[in-house]
């Protein structure tokens, strides 16, 4: 990532009212690629600033990891004057994104109907737990709760461990991804119609949507998934195997790849064994094949074996911790870690030929850019001071 702003989203202005993870993850994607993202925080600040340790000064790594390339202002939207400032910010905005409880903006008199009438070209994105309607409409949602409610936890873990939460907040993150996609869709449609529109992504629907292949399997045969641990419900072998040194993961996607694997590890006879010829045979005899392969892999060291299998075009990889992943030769070669001053982060995984992502702003301190942003929108120094004195804007958190 470069420091110059040549990104695909350059010229896009985003007013970001979101907190925690899904929304900030979405807006960092847009910001990395050039969007002018103004992060509007309540007087208490985005609560994930406190989700540590570890901390850089007063901000947790949790906040730092999803808020680069944004400018922060502190604004009290619960006050009428604060909402007037927001409406001023929206005059030049392309996108508004928020994750308030459904109905909050309506209560404040700035709901979607009001915004659409005043800013017909505005794309308004809302992220919520369950949406505004339905039996769960308006209910709060957290990643792990949605994992539990959408079958995700029941598809994770082994018979020995029981159901388990996925170790990263996959629902929040994928909701942010869907929100970014939805915003880009709405902006594309705006080029044709000249009109903005409201769009919504929910944690619950995202949780359901990403449950592939378990949803598809259930629709086909009517059975919920069983706990298979690190195994795949539809492919064998597709699992972790121990070696003489470390664990490796082997993934076989078709019968030809299985034959090639058997030849490469010196066991070609396994590919012609009637129990293992086709994938459906291997699924029926999963444990027998696992025992055969485990006996072979236990003779090898993990890294040389993975290198050899990968060189032969076979999907395999070492099971390694995040420190090894981030410092691996491939990650270093690809520039996957970016650094500036005190900051380290993972680079945007979207690599474009001409429109490069950039690191222009370090994750902001609370309210760091309040005066700067308001000045850009025509507020005089005296007006800014008056807003600060009245508590409408703030540069220090009120905890």
Q: Which two tokens stand for residue 167?
A: 């170790």
Q: Is residue 397 part of a domain?
A: no
Condensed to tens digits (0 to 9), the pLDDT of residues 282-339 reads 999 999 999 999 999 999 999 999 999 999 999 999 999 999 999 999 999 999 999 9
Residues 249 and 299 in one domain: yes
**Distance (Å, rounded) from C-alpha 279 to C-alpha 237?**
9
Residues 27 and 101 in one domain: yes
**Distance (Å, rounded) from C-alpha 391 to C-alpha 43?**
9
Domain coverage including residue 269: 238-327
Mean pLDDT of the region 166-189: 98
Tell me the pLDDT band of 226, cut-offs 50, 70 and 90: confident
Q: Is the pLDDT of residue 113 over 80?
A: yes
Q: Is the pLDDT of residue 3 over 70?
A: no
Which of 59, 143, 172, 336 is catalytic? The answer is 172
Cα angle 144-24-369, degrees, rounded to a multiple of 5: 145
Mean pLDDT of the region 195-211: 98
Q: Is residue 308 part of a domain?
A: yes
Closest to 48 in 3D by CA, of 39, 40, 57, 60? 60
Q: Is the pLDDT of residue 370 over 80?
A: yes
Tell me the pLDDT band of 158, cut-offs 50, 70 and 90: confident
Q: Is the pLDDT of residue 399 over 90?
A: no
Residues 111 and 207 in one domain: yes
**Among residues 327, 346, 361, which one ends one of the domains?**
327
Mean pLDDT of the region 127-147: 95
Residue 280 is part of a domain; what is its CATH number? 3.30.1540.10
Report pTM: 0.94
The confidence score (pLDDT) of residue 83 equals: 98
Residues 65 and 138 in one domain: yes
Residues 315 and 370 in one domain: no
Residues 157 and 74 in one domain: yes
Residues 54 and 163 in one domain: yes
User: Which H or E element spans position 39?
Assistant: strand 36-41
Q: Is residue 131 part of a domain?
A: yes
Q: Is 341 a catalytic residue?
A: no
Q: Is residue 365 part of a domain?
A: yes
Residue 111 is part of a domain; what is its CATH number? 3.40.50.10540
Q: Which two tokens stand for residue 158?
A: 């082994």
Q: Which two tokens stand for residue 226?
A: 């069983």
Condensed to tens digits (0 to 9), the pLDDT of residues 162-171 reads 999 999 999 9
Q: Is residue 246 part of a domain?
A: yes
Partners of 199 in the beta sheet? 125
The confidence score (pLDDT) of residue 80 equals: 97
- What whole-number percentage of the chain has pLDDT above 70? 99
Residues 277 and 161 in one domain: no
**Distance (Å, rounded) from C-alpha 119 to C-alpha 36?**
18
Tell me the pLDDT band of 369, cut-offs 50, 70 and 90: very high
Torsion of CA 161, 164, 166, 168, to 10 degrees: -90
Q: Is residue 228 part of a domain?
A: no
Residues 310 and 356 in one domain: no
Q: Is 354 helix (H, G, I), strand (E, B) or coil?
A: coil
DSSP output for 52-64: -SSEETTEEHHHH
Q: Is the pLDDT of residue 147 over 70?
A: yes
Residues 308 and 357 in one domain: no
Q: Is the pLDDT of residue 5 over 90?
A: no
The confidence score (pLDDT) of residue 106 equals: 95
Q: What's the domain count of the chain? A: 2
The pLDDT mean for the chain works out to 96
Q: Is residue 398 part of a domain?
A: no
**Among residues 296, 327, 358, which one ends one of the domains?**
327
Q: Is residue 110 part of a domain?
A: yes
The confidence score (pLDDT) of residue 159 equals: 87
Please tell me the least confidently modeled range out of 117-126, 224-233, 387-396. 224-233
Residues 299 and 344 in one domain: no
């Amino acid at each position: 990532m470069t420091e110059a702003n040549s990104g695909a989203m350059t010229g896009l202005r985003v007013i970001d009212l979101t907190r925690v993870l899904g929304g900030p993850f979405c807006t960092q994607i847009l910001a990395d690629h050039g969007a002018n993202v103004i992060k509007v925080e309540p007087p208490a600040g985005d609560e994930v600033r406190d989700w540590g340790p570890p901390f850089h000064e007063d901000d947790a790594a949790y906040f730092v990891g999803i808020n680069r390339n944004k400018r922060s202002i502190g604004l009290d939207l619960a006050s009428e004057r604060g909402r007037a400032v927001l409406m001023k910010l929206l005059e030049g905005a392309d996108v508004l994104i928020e994750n308030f409880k459904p109905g909050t903006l309506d209560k404040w008199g700035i709901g979607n109907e009001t915004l659409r009438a005043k800013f017909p070209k505005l794309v308004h994105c809302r992220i919520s737990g369950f949406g505004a309607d339905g039996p769960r409409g308006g209910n709060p949602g957290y990643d792990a709760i949605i994992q539990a409610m959408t079958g995700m936890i029941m598809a994770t873990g082994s018979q020995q461990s029981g159901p388990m939460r996925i170790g990263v907040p996959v629902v929040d993150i994928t909701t942010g991804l869907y929100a970014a996609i939805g915003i880009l869709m709405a902006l594309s449609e705006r080029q044709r119609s000249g009109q903005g529109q409201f769009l919504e992504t929910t944690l619950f629907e995202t949780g359901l949507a990403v449950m592939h292949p378990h949803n598809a399997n259930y629709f086909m045969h009517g059975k919920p998934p069983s706990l298979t641990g690190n195994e795949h419900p539809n492919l064998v072998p597709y699992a972790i195997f121990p070696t003489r040194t470390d664990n490796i993961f082997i993934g076989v996607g078709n019968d030809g790849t299985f034959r090639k694997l058997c030849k490469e590890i010196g066991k070609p006879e396994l590919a012609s064994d009637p129990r293992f010829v086709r994938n459906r045979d291997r699924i029926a005899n999963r444990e027998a094949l696992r025992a055969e392969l485990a006996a072979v892999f236990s003779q090898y060291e993990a890294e040389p074996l993975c290198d050899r299998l990968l060189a032969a075009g076979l999907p395999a990889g070492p099971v390694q911790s995040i420190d090894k992943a981030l410092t691996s030769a491939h990650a270093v070669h690809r520039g996957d870690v970016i650094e500036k001053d005190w900051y380290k982060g993972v680079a945007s995984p979207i690599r474009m030929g001409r429109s490069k992502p950039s690191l222009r702003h370090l994750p902001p301190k609370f309210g760091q850019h309040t005066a700067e942003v308001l000045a850009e929108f025509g507020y005089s120094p005296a007006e800014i001071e008056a807003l600060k004195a009245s508590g409408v804007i703030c540069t220090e958190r009120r905890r």
